[in-house]
């Protein structure tokens, strides 16, 4: 009888701790450091909420995002470079940073930067109005330490996402392009 009560008490204690832990793990950043954002970030892992989105995610071999011109204004340049098979897709947008994230002008997609203990990582949450879509971890490195990946996995679990998919760090990244707001395709270098 005592063992049964002890096990029940331990289970209740672990459940009571999970809510505050999740609250911290999925907390939006209090303050964005625009200068920390500047530069290139490689997609290390990502997860989706809906299995219908898995096919599109799995077609990518690599992804890089790049922030530039992080001045005191809220306007910033945002480039995305996606590797698919032997080709690259480039998308350039000008965005306005607001609070802990930004919204794309041409869609209702909102991006929120979340807490991470990883010093050279960005954790981004992509939402449509009222619906969580994706969660990504980007880094200046191609792979994360096990503890950093565990933190991201815990974040995805807190948000009831599907299991994270880790990108292959040996896949070649798309070369940088000087496109000015145009979507172009090119060959990988």
pLDDT tens per residue across span 23-41? 999 999 988 888 889 999 9
All structural domains of the chain with their residue ranges:
24-187
- Domain 24-187 top-level CATH class: mainly beta
* pLDDT, tens digit, 9 for 90 and up, residues 89-132: 999 988 888 889 998 777 788 999 999 999 999 999 999 988 99
pLDDT higher than 80, residue 19: no
- pLDDT at res. 85: 85
Contact assessment for residue 166 and residue 62, using Cβ atoms and an 8 Å cutoff? no
Round the average pLDDT of the chain to a whole number and report it.
Answer: 84
Q: Find, among 78, 82, 80, the residue nearest to 57 by Cα.
A: 82
Q: Give percent above pLDDT 90 in the chain.
A: 58
Interatomic CA distance for residues 82 and 66, integer angstroms: 12
């Amino acid at each position: 009888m005592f063992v049964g009560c002890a096990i029940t008490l331990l289970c209740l204690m672990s459940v009571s701790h999970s809510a505050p832990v999740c609250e911290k793990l999925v907390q939006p950043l209090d303050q964005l450091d625009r200068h920390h954002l500047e530069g290139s970030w490689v997609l290390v892992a990502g997860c989706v909420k809906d299995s219908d989105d898995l096919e599109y995610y799995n077609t990518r071999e690599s992804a890089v995002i790049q922030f530039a011109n992080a001045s005191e204004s809220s306007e910033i340049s945002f480039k995305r470079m996606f590797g698919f098979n032997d080709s690259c897709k480039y998308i350039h947008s000008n965005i306005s940073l607001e609070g802990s994230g930004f919204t794309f002008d041409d869609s209702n997609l909102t991006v929120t930067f979340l807490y991470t203990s990883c010093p050279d990582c960005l954790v981004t949450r992509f939402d449509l109005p009222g619906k969580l879509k994706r969660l990504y971890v980007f880094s200046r490195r191609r792979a994360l330490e096990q503890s950093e990946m565990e933190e991201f996995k815990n974040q995805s679990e807190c948000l009831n996402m599907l299991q994270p998919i880790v990108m292959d760090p040996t896949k070649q990244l798309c070369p940088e392009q000087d496109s000015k707001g145009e979507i172009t395709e090119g060959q990988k270098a």
